[in-house]
A and B are shown apart, each in its own frame.
Chain A
Amino acid sequence: MGGSGMRNLERRYRTLLKVLPRWYRRDREEEMVGIFLAERDDDLDLEHSWPGWGETGAVLALAVRTHLAAGAALTSVPSKVARRGEVVRALGMLGLLLGMFYAMNMVVTVVVGLGRPFQSPQPWWRVLELAPVVAFAALLIGWRTLAKVVAAVPLSLVVVSVTATGDPGYVLVWGVFQFPLLVTFVCLCLGFHREAPIPPARRLLWWGGGALLLGVVGGFSGGTGMQTIAVLTLVLRVAVFVRGDGVLGRALSLFALAQLVPLLFVVVPSHSYLMPVGVLAALLAVAAVAPVWRRPKAAPQMG
Chain B
Amino acid sequence: MSEQTFLVLTALAEEPLHGYAIVQAVEQLSEGRMVLRVGTLYGVLDRLVADGLAERDREEVHQGRLRRYYKLTDSGVRALQAEVARLSANVRAATAVLRGRGVQAWAGRA
Contact = CB atoms under 8 A, between A and B. Distances in A.
Given A72-B50, A73-B50, A74-B50, A35 B38 contact: yes
B66 A30 contact: yes
B19 A31 contact: yes
Contact of A61 (B20, B23, B39, B68): B39
Contact of A36 (B38, B49, B64, B67): B38
A62 interface: yes
A32 B66 CA distance: 9
Question: SS class of chain B's interface: helix, strand, loop or mixed?
Answer: helix
Interface string A41-80: 0000000000000110111111001000000111100000
Contact of A31 (B23, B49, B50, B68): B68
Contacts of A37: 65
Interface in B11-43: 19-20, 23, 37-43
A89 to B, nearest CB: 17
Contacts of A58: 37-40, 43
Nearest to A77: B50
Question: SS class of chain A's interface: helix, strand, loop or mixed?
Answer: helix
B74 interface: no
B57 interface: no
B47 A35 contact: no
19 contacts: A30-B66, A31-B66, A31-B68, A32-B42, A33-B65, A34-B19, A35-B19, A35-B23, A35-B41, A36-B38, A57-B37, A57-B39, A59-B38, A62-B40, A62-B43, A72-B50, A73-B46, A195-B43, A195-B46
Given A31-B68, A57-B37, A75-B49, 20 more contacts: A1-B64, A28-B42, A31-B19, A33-B65, A34-B65, A34-B66, A35-B20, A36-B38, A37-B65, A58-B37, A58-B40, A59-B39, A61-B39, A61-B43, A62-B40, A65-B43, A73-B46, A73-B47, A74-B50, A195-B46
Interface of A: 1, 28, 30-39, 54-55, 57-62, 65, 72-75, 194-195
